[in-house]
Amino acid sequence: MHWNVNLVEVVLVLSFPQAQPDSQKSHSLSPMEIHLVDSTSLRWASSISSTAPIMHSTEFLKHSHINTAPNPPFPLRVEFMKRGLKPLSSGIQKDSNKDLSRILRTEAAIKGVENKGNSWKHRQLWPKAVLEALDEAIKGCRWQAALKIFALLRRQHWYEPRCQTYAKILMMLGKCRKPEEAGQIFEIMLSEGLRPTVDVYTALVGAYGLSGSFHQAFRTVEDMKSVVDCEPDIYTYSILISSCTKFQRFDLIGHVLSEMSYVGIECNNVTYNTIIDGYGKAGMFEHMENSLADMVESGNCQPDVFTLNSIIGAYGEGRKIDKMEKWYDEFQLMGVKADLKTFNMMIKSYGKAGMYEKMQSVMDFMKRRFFSPTIVTYNTVIDVFGKAGEIEKMDKHFNRMKHLGVKPNTVTYCSLVNAYSKAGLIDKVDSIMRHVENSDVVLDTPFFNSVISAYGQAGDLEKMGEFFRAMKERNCEPDSITFACLMQAYNAHGMTEAAKKLENLMVTDKHSFGLKHVIEIVLHAP
């Protein structure tokens, strides 16, 4: 097969992941959460990154053996002609358009793969399109689409089963809490004659453990021991411990640690941090500090910024401000420096405790140390002042945020609407809605719930109905909170019949809520 030279450019462009803005990261990560980041080695990484930015050095330009003498124009033109290409000066715009066209055709082919997932007649599809469509579905945790595409992949004439593919799918099913599907995929792998690797088994342990299926998770670990060169390693046990902490099955952690000690596997920083974070989130502060002591006494592990954030976050959430400050000082003496995540958690903790002066002092300290406040920082401050009814201070920080070029997101607007509604400032809610209409912010169900609740409490049932209909237009699914807000508004205004209809509909069709019928009820209620 003859490949066009420019296809390399298409592959390179499609291979680079898009950076996610802070607005998408701001409220999705916990202080210490483990992720499988490499499907082949199943290495671990924390949700918090304190890695310094990569510096692109130009030093190589000084030492490279590059002929800097003027290039004769004629040989250069001949070289282009030999390669069948045109000089850049005369054809850069045309080449760019051609490359863009190829990229768009490639993306269209990838999107078309999913539509063929239910058909059995497609057996000679473009490998690149099928594989990239599967990869996108896995990254997006769209497990149903991923399994359809995987079934389509297995029907291709050029298909060769690989353990790496199965490991990726199992990891995705673990994140989506689909243990039964994970078990079925593992059986398919065995039927294809593949021998499971440690990576595959570890991904299967994660799929069971992250779903709370501990019996199957521990049984899988036992199965690993009976397979040659497939004994559980530190990553297998780490995902098992992480699963136990998520479901607060601390009674199982001792068993896992004993088994690790028996087979000669020592805990690493990730293991200790997972245990410390789990105890902290459960409010088991004594166990948390004991685990920290074990970490220090082990000799091969030292507390790091992830440990610091787990301790600070635990005591902050528990409103034990003295303990939080004490351990902050202790970590500074140990040489563990705080990061932006640390300061954001301290701001939130001081705010919840009503200690606004200390909250401001942390922000001043961040400024002196050149820590730029992010969307998370401002959302925290706005939410704190909003819940406290300090509307002027909340508005002040919202305006400062916009002045500094920090783009508000749906969390920001949700906090503002809730605060204005609580203070009875419905005109301010109208102002926020105009602001949202003129922005490109991606709205979600919690935001619409706040707006529906605000107008419902203000007695403006017409606007409440309008925003409920807008949810459908924005592809935001209403949830139980949405219907609770609607029923509360109807009951408060004596419209018990409409409220009763909604309640009956929720009971009879609690999965889809019969959205079409709900809209009819809302339309005719006023």
User: Could you read off the pLDDT of 345-372 as tens digits, one per residue?
Assistant: 999 999 999 999 999 999 999 999 989 9
In angstroms, rounded to a whole number, what is the distance separating the alpha carbons of residues 204 and 216? 9
Residue 275 dihedral angles phi and psi, to the nearest 5°? -65, -45
Whether 337 maps to a domain, the answer reads no
Question: What are the structure tokens assigned to 196, written together?
Answer: 């499971």
In angstroms, rounded to a whole number, what is the distance separating the alpha carbons of residues 514 and 93? 52
pLDDT tens digits for range 84-98: 444 444 444 444 454
Residue 419 to residues 390, 409, 451, 458, 484, Cα–Cα distance (Å)? 9, 16, 11, 13, 19
The predicted model gives 221-225 an average pLDDT of: 94
Residue 508 confidence (pLDDT):
59
Portion of the chain with pLDDT greater than 90, in percent: 60
Residue 7 dihedral angles phi and psi, to the nearest 5°? -65, -30
Whether 122 maps to a domain, the answer reads yes
In angstroms, rounded to a whole number, what is the distance separating the alpha carbons of residues 345 and 314? 10
pLDDT tens digits for range 283-308: 999 999 999 999 999 988 999 999 99
Q: Which of 244, 265, 286 is the last residue of a domain?
A: 265
Whether 86 maps to a domain, the answer reads no
Residue 5 confidence (pLDDT):
38
Residue 476 confidence (pLDDT):
87
Residue 117 dihedral angles phi and psi, to the nearest 5°? -60, -30
Helix (H) or strand (E) holding 45: strand 44-46
Query: If you count them, how many residues does the chain have?
Result: 526
What CATH number is associated with residue 201?
1.25.40.10
User: DSSP letter string over 299-345?
Assistant: SS----HHHHHHHHHHHHHTT-HHHHHHHHHHHHHTT----HHHHHH
For the ranges 25-34, 103-112, 351-360, 487-496, the lowest mean pLDDT is seen at 25-34
DSSP letter assigned to residue 72: P
Question: What are the structure tokens assigned to 102, written together?
Answer: 């190829």
Whether 106 maps to a domain, the answer reads yes
The predicted model gives 153-180 an average pLDDT of: 94
Residue 67 has pLDDT above 80, yes or no: no
108 band by pLDDT with thresholds 50, 70 and 90: low
Number of domains in the chain: 2
In angstroms, rounded to a whole number, what is the distance separating the alpha carbons of residues 394 and 396? 5
505 band by pLDDT with thresholds 50, 70 and 90: low
Residue 432's nearest CA partner among 446, 454, 417, 418 is 417
Whether 306 maps to a domain, the answer reads no
378 band by pLDDT with thresholds 50, 70 and 90: very high
Residue 201 confidence (pLDDT):
96
Residue 4 has pLDDT above 60, yes or no: no
DSSP letter assigned to residue 252: G
Residue 383 has pLDDT above 80, yes or no: yes
Q: Are 476 and 443 in contact (CB under 8 A)?
A: yes
Q: Which of 265, 286, 302 is the last residue of a domain?
A: 265
Contact partners, residue 93, CB within 8 Å, separation at least 6 = none
199 band by pLDDT with thresholds 50, 70 and 90: very high
The predicted model gives 463-479 an average pLDDT of: 87
pLDDT tens digits for range 250-272: 999 999 999 999 999 999 999 99
The predicted model gives 140-148 an average pLDDT of: 94
Whether 195 maps to a domain, the answer reads yes
Residue 479 dihedral angles phi and psi, to the nearest 5°? -120, -170
In angstroms, rounded to a whole number, what is the distance separating the alpha carbons of residues 377 and 354? 16
Residue 46 dihedral angles phi and psi, to the nearest 5°? -85, 160
519 band by pLDDT with thresholds 50, 70 and 90: very low
Residue 430 has pLDDT above 80, yes or no: yes
497 band by pLDDT with thresholds 50, 70 and 90: confident
pLDDT tens digits for range 166-177: 999 999 999 999
Whether 405 maps to a domain, the answer reads no
Contact partners, residue 198, CB within 8 Å, separation at least 6 = 42, 224, 230, 231, 232, 233, 236
Angle (CA) 324 329 330, round 5°? 95
For the ranges 99-108, 199-208, 255-264, the lowest mean pLDDT is seen at 99-108
Question: What are the structure tokens assigned to 275, written together?
Answer: 């245990």
Whether 79 maps to a domain, the answer reads no
Q: Which of 224, 249, 265 is the last residue of a domain?
A: 265
pTM for the complete prediction? Answer: 0.69
Residue 294 confidence (pLDDT):
95
Residue 28 has pLDDT above 90, yes or no: no
DSSP letter assigned to residue 176: T
Contact partners, residue 150, CB within 8 Å, separation at least 6 = 134, 165, 169
User: Does 362 or 65 have the greater pLDDT score?
Assistant: 362
For the ranges 265-279, 401-415, 461-475, the lowest mean pLDDT is seen at 461-475
Question: Domain range for residue 521?
Answer: 443-526
